[in-house]
């Protein structure tokens, strides 16, 4: 058995252990219903044809959708974070949380990835009834996120702590958010077409193309897409935004190859894959992360889920050997610890500080490894 096939089985085991009564939880420590973790993880669950848990997970977030269309970022116990410190607390009360990590603006990532996850579920499961039953609420989620365009250029604006990378102090127009937004608009257009809602289908398809043009106009540096734009352009390399731009067709082949050249030249995929390059200065990270020894949490640590998308991006560009190499590097990390972990340092060691340790049985890693294997090489049954 190859290492990829072996680790595929580990990923399937870990992901299915995180199927809980209401949906998909983060992992074996936090045991929290966290929106984008579970939505990305659902891509893997769909490839396993575990459609019932994916449907249940999507309905959980629709249950707590606000009247204005905003979905919760997470649904959790108020004391969930104490589990990361080794305290095994039982708390059955769950509360929805909508704000970003600094309480000054709403979190935006969940609405966008929810739409993409709905599209993936419906396309994989052929569950048209789910779409018919929930179309109005899905549309409300799209409308809410579209309203976050503050300067009428169709690119989404956000405040501090509103992104998946919550501890990085970014604001304004962020690459990751807008690449995902393009994908969400495109996906929603296809869902609308399924129900023959032609005005919605045409309108959101047109919006998607405008967003794509805006990203290529405002973010492209000549070598890669820059990280974010606030008062000025912040010229960092965002791994998430750039590899997803390839996977989700924001970048053409020429731009995609330039992005990959930058990645390999700077060895960003050595431990697949670091969040950004170069590192942000310390003052662009949360003070709590600094005090907790997690300065690099969203600022240079490696997240295997990003590596999985990088492997898919390389495969899409025809870089078949390089794609398999990345997949094998991720597989070795997982195999070493016999679990799908959350984050690693530059030497491939799992992170542990006095207040935090890398999540094990991490749904996001497990689900996207399953997706990557299905996209790149068909796993043996």
Q: Domain boundaries in the chain?
A: 3-376
pLDDT of residue 233: 96
DSSP-derived letter for residue 252 is: -
Separation in Å, CA 188 to CA 4, 11, 107, 256: 33, 29, 20, 25
pLDDT tens digits for 69-83? 999 999 987 666 655
Q: Give me the pLDDT at residue 88, please.
A: 60
Mean pLDDT of 295-307: 97
pLDDT at 206 over 80: yes
> Residue 91: what pLDDT?
55
Residue 236 has what DSSP assignment?
A: E
* Mean pLDDT score, 5-34: 94
pLDDT at 31: 84
- In the prediction, which pLDDT does 93 show? 73
Radius of gyration of the chain (CA): 19
- Distance (Å, whole) CA 188 – CA 142: 8
Query: Residue 354's pLDDT band (boundaries 50, 70, 90)?
Result: confident
The residue-averaged pLDDT of 136-163 equals 96
Per-residue confidence (pLDDT) for residue 81, from 0 to 100: 62
Rounded alpha-carbon distances, angstroms, from residue 172 to 158, 181, 287, 322, 339 = 5, 14, 20, 34, 36
The span from the CA of 344 to the CA of 121, in Å, is 30
Binned at pLDDT 50, 70 and 90, residue 355 comes out as confident
Mean pLDDT within 40-53:
98
Mean pLDDT computed over 171-185: 98
Residue 379 pLDDT level (bands cut at 50, 70, 90):
low
Helix (H) or strand (E) holding 261: helix 253-265
- Residue 158: the pLDDT is 97
d(CA 102, CA 170): 12
352 CB burial (10 A radius; 0-12, 13-18, 19+): exposed
State the distance between the two ends of the chain, measured CA to CA, in whole angstroms.
12
The DSSP bridge pattern shows strands 276-277 and 33-34 to be unpaired
Pick among 3.30.530.20, 1.50.10.10, 3.50.50.60, 1.10.10.60: CATH of 3-376: 1.50.10.10
Q: H helices within 32-108, ranges in order?
A: 35-47, 51-63
pTM value? Answer: 0.96
Q: Which of 17-21, 115-119, 139-143, 352-356 bottoms out in mean pLDDT, i.e. has the lowest?
A: 352-356
Distance CA 293, CA 24 (A): 28
> Residues 286-306: what's their mean pLDDT?
93
Asked if residue 292 lies in contact with residue 355, where contact means CB atoms within 8 angstroms, the answer is yes
Q: Can you tell me the distance from the alpha carbon of 37 to that of 99, in angstroms, rounded to the nearest whole number?
A: 16
* Residue 6 pLDDT grade (very low, low, confident, very high; cuts 50, 70, 90): very high
**CA 173 from centre of chain:** 17
Q: At what angle do helices 363-376 and 3-17 cross, to 10 degrees?
A: 140
% of the chain residues with pLDDT over 70: 95
DSSP-derived secondary structure letter, 77? -
| pLDDT at residue 79, rounded to an integer | 65
- pLDDT at residue 92 tops 70: no
Nearest to 324 by CA among 332, 302, 246: 332
């Amino acid at each position: 058995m190859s290492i990829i096939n072996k680790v595929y089985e580990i990923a399937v085991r870990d992901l299915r252990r995180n199927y809980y009564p209401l949906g998909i939880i983060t992992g074996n420590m936090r045991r929290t219903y966290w929106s984008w973790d579970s939505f990305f993880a659902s891509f893997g669950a769909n490839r396993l044809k575990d459609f019932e848990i994916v449907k249940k997970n999507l309905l959980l977030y629709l249950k707590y959708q606000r009247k204005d269309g905003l979905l919760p970022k997470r649904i959790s116990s108020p004391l969930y974070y104490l589990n990361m410190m080794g305290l095994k607390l039982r708390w059955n009360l769950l509360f929805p949380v909508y704000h970003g990590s600094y309480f000054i603006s709403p979190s935006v990532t969940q609405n966008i990835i929810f739409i993409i996850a709905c599209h993936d579920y419906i396309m994989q499961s052929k569950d048209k009834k789910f779409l018919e039953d929930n179309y109005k609420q899905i549309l409300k989620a799209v409308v809410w996120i579209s309203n976050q365009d503050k300067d009428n250029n169709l690119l989404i604006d956000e405040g501090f702590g509103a992104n998946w990378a919550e501890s990085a102090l970014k604001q304004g127009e962020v690459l990751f958010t807008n690449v995902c937004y393009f994908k969400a608009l495109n996906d929603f257009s296809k869902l609308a077409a399924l129900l023959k809602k032609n005005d919605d289908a045409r309108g959101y398809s047109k919006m998607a193309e405008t967003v794509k043009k805006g990203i290529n106009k405002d973010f492209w540096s000549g070598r890669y897409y820059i990280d974010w734009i606030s008062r000025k352009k912040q010229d960092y390399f965002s791994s998430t935004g750039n590899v997803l731009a390839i996977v989700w067709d924001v970048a053409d082949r020429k731009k995609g190859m330039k992005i990959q050249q930058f990645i390999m030249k700077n060895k960003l995929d050595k431990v697949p894959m670091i969040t950004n390059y170069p590192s942000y200065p310390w003052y662009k990270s949360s003070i709590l992360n600094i005090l907790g020894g997690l300065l690099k949490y969203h600022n240079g640590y490696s997240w295997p889920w990003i590596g999985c998308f990088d492997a898919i991006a390389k495969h899409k560009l025809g870089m078949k050997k390089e794609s398999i190499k990345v997949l094998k590097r991720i597989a070795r990390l997982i195999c070493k610890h016999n679990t799908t972990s959350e984050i690693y340092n530059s030497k491939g060691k799992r992170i542990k500080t006095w207040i935090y340790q890398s999540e094990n049985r991490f749904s996001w890693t497990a689900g996207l490894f399953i997706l990557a294997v299905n996209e790149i090489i068909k796993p043996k049954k």
